[in-house]
Structure 1
Amino acid sequence: MMRRYNVGYATVSKAVGSAWPEPRKVMPARRTRLDPFKLAVDAMLRADLDAPRKQRHTVTRIFHRLLDEYGAEGISYPMVRRYVKERRPQIRAAAGLGVDEAFVPQSHPPGMEAEVDFGDVKVRLGGELVTCYLFAFRLSFSGRSVHRVFASGGQEAFFEGHVHALRTLGGVPRGKVRYDNLKAAVAQVLGFTRHRVETARWTAFKSHYGLESFYCRPGLAGAHEKGGVEGQIGWYRRNHFVPVPEVASLTELNALVEQWDAGDDARRIGARPHTVGEAFALERELLAPLPEEEFETGLQLRPRVDRYGQVSVRMNRYSVPVRLVGRRVQVVLHASHLVVYDNGVEVARHERLTGKLRTRLELDHYLEALIRKPGALPGATALEQARAAGRFTPLHDAWWDAARAAHGEREGTRALIDVLLLGRAIGHEHLVTGLAAALRVGALTADAVALEARKAAQADDEAAEPAVDAAQAANVTFLAQWRLSHLPPDTRPLPSVAAYDQLLRRRAGGARREGESG
């Protein structure tokens, strides 16, 4: 054997003694010039365990400290880099840091649990790139999710997202709903416990719908506790918001979101045996019923109207009728719009602005002031916004130019303001039709525009009326009768001449006195 394979006796003995070769002998590491300074490097890395994250040692800083403070002549930067790369994870692991955390698989009974979260998305809204907020409500068992995009992530959006989601799902989860520590729900986090001081409105909202909240640990440490909705928002953003959607309004965008949610029912999550829609069909029947009345999600405010006819709401300004200048009004702020009330009567409604320090004005709110100050109309900000929104059309400008040429600057502008006041009783489309008809014949008065606009409205009403058969048509004989049938009911009392009987008695008494004297 030794002669055949040309090996020594010791090799043959080892082969006969075991079929496995002996492990290769590990040679001791070769000494380097860094060895005397490794303890100093270890001390620096241990000090980083308690240091702020952005003020820890880099390899470059360690290298320069070794040169300046320890006189480490002859060492090189690659030498220090290799040692730090090997030694830093070992030191962190010895301190109990940087070790992969173990997770325990969870089962979610149907109809019991859900998760809620917000995520920001970029949207090109009306040609402008803005940041909006995507609300997601996800059932844990089926993975069925309901989404809604809002202009803000405030409490009103938080509530409206819940109302929309619960209405869409047709019920309320009977178990816990997992949340981050959102300001809309949590007023204070009590130490390192699960206890939270909730906001008063959120407590009322939960009681109304019968929700049971569960709050995750603050920060990234608690993100995995509602990992389903965390991953859902990322998946939704990548699949439906790439490329960036271009819409005219949030209403249009949310209509698309509802279509995307409906199409998600055919998706299969991971290796689950059922699709999202099939699992939700089982879960829907196990949800708790919705309350009969919905919760008022709007935030109620009491701002004062300034001298410009505007109210300030969340660092943006909105117009109201100028007759309310100096008075306090009630504003109900919703996630996508706001409504202004005066003594319980709605006086203004605006789409909510995105961003801050912006202004949204309605030209109709300033017409009473412009009647007295017609010279302020050409440069009015409300007029500029009405043009941009398409409410003040090129036909308005053409009629205005003709009216100023015929009546003068002041009276021509007043005639236009009278036309704009007609918009409170006549639809915008009919008013534009009336302007076009009056401009064609050179009728540059508000009365002419009103007449032509009412003709257009009457023609549309007649075209919209259902067709009648010959027997019904025969009953309508006179045009005057048709017009009288469209008049409102006369609720005035019948006329009486009782007050004039006193004059008759007085006159009769005077006649008798004249006869006696004769």
Structure 2
Amino acid sequence: MESRVELFARIRRDARVEGLSVRALAVRHKVHRRTVRQALEAAAPPERKPRRGVAWRLEPFKGAIDEMLIGDTTAPRKQRHTARRILARLIEEHGATELSYSTVRDYVRVRRAQIDVEAGRRVEVFVPQEHAPGAEAEVDFGEVFVVLNGEKTKCHMFVFRLSHSGKSIHRVYPTQAQEAFLEGHIEAFNEIGGVPVKHIRYDNLTSAVTSVLFGQGRNRQENDRWVLFRSHYGFDAFYCQPGIAGAHEKGGVEGEVGWFRRNRLTPMPVVSSLDELNSRIKGWELLDEGRRINDRIRTIGQDFAAEQSCLASLPVEVFDPGLVLSPRVDRSSMVTVRMVKYSVPARFIGRRVRVSLRASEVVIFDGLVVVARHQRIAARTGCSVQLDHYLEVLKTKPGAFPGSTALARARECGAFTSAHEAFWGASRRVNGDADGTRELIDVLLLHRCMDAGDVEAGIIAALAVGAVSADVVAVEARRHAAEATSAGGANTGRHLGPPAVREVQRVVSLTQRRLMDPAAVIAGLPHDTRPLPTVNAYDELLAKRSSHTTEQGSASKENIS
């Protein structure tokens, strides 16, 4: 659409160049002659007069409305005037029959706020605040949706933000329970390398606050475990006013939740686990250090580098953020935690164990020793089973191994590899199903004291020489670990020469070699050219012995007769 400035410029040009009359200019540009005269008088269009609506009818009644609103400043909250009640009183008491509801409503909305400010009941102006380096931080949770293992899942993002630099730590958990609340703090403290020296701002989260003590300022009745956590790390908590009234008191973290969700988690991230997502988030946090907040001169990373030295040091002792439980191990060697089953070693059946329920994992203790560790399952039902916990039982019951849930889970997660499958198949062909499975279980037991890569290399080397013995696998695995260690220690020179060629003596089981398929090629053994053994010579001796025995029997009969 053409602006009035452009229209005036064309009218003035046509009048100057072609000398057209006012009437001709009005016809050409399809405007009124008054507009043409305005354009010829000045290049700038005159300002439009403000439109006079029906609000002028309200002028005689503004004083009465103000009196009602001023009276509301001391009236009970539920007995204050609404715009509809004010209109009804104006009609009844002042005969304002020409007023409409919308006219009164618009005036009341603006004027009520002004009167409240004048009476000191509402402060609409936010006063900018300065935050000393390392003094304050803010914490909040925000909801996020993640495509987890192909399924849309609701999760909770913990956000910790330093008030001075704006450095923020984000972690996504399946829940916002107290264990996630505490674990998020520990992650944040470890990432920034310290603790704020003044306080950390919170809203009234149930993970920290048991109840709000109304009428006692910002005092709260806090959760005992939360008090223990604050005492351990040595910081104070500042609780904001309940509800929307206190949202601006930690506006920094409120804005950070929204910014990170819009810029980093949109569209919904597709991951196989929350650990994978949190690893990505750590990379995004490094990128955010180059960002500037609003009109600041320095970046977040530059301000944080100056702020980090002002933080209080971390305590030496490690705080366990998990919720401590004491379930009993059932006959399936599993414990039930929040309706989910987790396996433990079979030797603990019938005993009570100590469980630390954390935001992302479940750790099971026997005294002070960790006996099992599982990824936490966010669903209401399900189970997490580890094959290692059932090996002793399966060695006495090898027939239960092929159909066990533990084996199925090990295959799903990749712990039971193709090398294990090949060893199991070869062992069953040589030793039979039961003994072959026991040999495999002995190999799986090696994982408790050896690296998985070394054990897998030992399996491959043992199969290469036709051996399906756990002892051979152990020897080859130790050889592989020793070679890796020596190779790592020897590569200290600047220029590496060609590797030394040396003959490696492999362990070979001759008995298993003969039991294996004759068509199989056994590495490391020469072809056997000796003839097959025969017992013909022994058969000749037996013939001579039988004839000699017959002659002796005939002679004895003659003597008797």
**Fold conserved between structures, TM > 0.5:** yes
Distance in 2 between residues matched to 1:445 and 1:102, nearest whole Å: 80
Matched, 1:135 2:158: yes
- 1:155 maps to a residue whose letter is Q
- The equivalent of 1:317 in structure 2 is 341
Which of residues 404, 412, 417 is equivalent to 2:428? 404
Mapping 1:62-461, distance limit 5 Å:
102-111=124-133, 112-191=135-214, 194-461=218-485
Q: Secondary structure at the match of 2:157?
A: strand
- 2:201 maps to a residue whose letter is R
Q: Do the aligned partners of residues 84 and 374 (structure 1) sit closer, same or farther apart at CA in structure 2, a change above 3 Å counting?
A: farther
- 2:475 maps to a residue whose letter is L
Q: Secondary structure at the match of 1:266?
A: coil
Higher relative contact order (CA 8 A, sep 6+): 1
Q: Please list every run of 5 or more consecutive structure 2 residues that lacks an aligned counterpart in the other structure.
A: 1-48, 58-76, 79-99, 117-121, 494-561
- Structure 2 length normalisation: TM-score? 0.63
**Conserved? CA contact 1:179–1:216, under 8 Å:** yes
- 2:488 maps to a residue whose letter is A
Q: Secondary structure at the match of 2:328?
A: coil
- 1:107 maps to a residue whose letter is Q
Mapping 1:43-54, distance limit 5 Å:
none
Q: Secondary structure at the match of 2:138?
A: strand
Larger Rg: 2
- What CA deviation, in whole Å up to 9, does each residue of 1:291-343 have, x standing for no partner? 44443323322111111111122332211101100101112233322322213
Equivalenced residues, count: 397
Distance in 1 between residues matched to 2:327 and 2:466, nearest whole Å: 46
Shift of 1:225: 2.2
Shift of 1:191: 3.5
- 1:422 maps to a residue whose letter is L
- Identity fraction in percent: 48
Moved more, 453-462 or 83-92: 83-92
Q: Do the aligned partners of residues 272 and 451 (structure 1) sit closer, same or farther apart at CA in structure 2, a change above 3 Å counting?
A: closer
Q: Do the aligned partners of residues 455 and 127 (structure 1) sit closer, same or farther apart at CA in structure 2, a change above 3 Å counting?
A: farther
Moved more, 104-113 or 193-202: 104-113
Moved more, 455-464 or 317-326: 455-464
**Conserved? CA contact 2:146–2:270, under 8 Å:** yes
Shift of 1:468: 9.5
Moved more, 263-272 or 379-388: 263-272
- What CA deviation, in whole Å up to 9, does each residue of 1:182-218 have, x standing for no partner? 1210111224653311001111222232322122233
Distance in 2 between residues matched to 1:425 and 1:22, nearest whole Å: 87
- 1:175 maps to a residue whose letter is K
Q: Secondary structure at the match of 1:214?
A: strand
- 2:219 maps to a residue whose letter is H
- 2:301 maps to a residue whose letter is G
Moved more, 382-391 or 415-424: 415-424
Shift of 1:266: 2.1
**Conserved? CA contact 2:160–2:253, under 8 Å:** yes
Q: Do the aligned partners of residues 176 and 368 (structure 1) sit closer, same or farther apart at CA in structure 2, a change above 3 Å counting?
A: same
Q: Secondary structure at the match of 1:201?
A: helix
**Conserved? CA contact 2:213–2:219, under 8 Å:** yes
Q: Secondary structure at the match of 2:443?
A: helix
Q: Do the aligned partners of residues 453 and 24 (structure 1) sit closer, same or farther apart at CA in structure 2, a change above 3 Å counting?
A: closer
**Conserved? CA contact 1:110–1:286, under 8 Å:** no
RMSD of equivalent CA atoms: 3.4
**Conserved? CA contact 1:110–1:142, under 8 Å:** no
Distance in 1 between residues matched to 2:180 and 2:221, nearest whole Å: 20
**Conserved? CA contact 1:179–1:215, under 8 Å:** yes
Q: Do the aligned partners of residues 128 and 368 (structure 1) sit closer, same or farther apart at CA in structure 2, a change above 3 Å counting?
A: farther
**Conserved? CA contact 1:216–1:222, under 8 Å:** yes
Q: Secondary structure at the match of 1:465?
A: helix
Distance in 2 between residues matched to 1:383 and 1:211, nearest whole Å: 47
Q: Do the aligned partners of residues 310 and 91 (structure 1) sit closer, same or farther apart at CA in structure 2, a change above 3 Å counting?
A: farther
Moved more, 332-341 or 388-397: 332-341
**Conserved? CA contact 2:55–2:103, under 8 Å:** no
Distance in 1 between residues matched to 2:464 and 2:299, nearest whole Å: 63
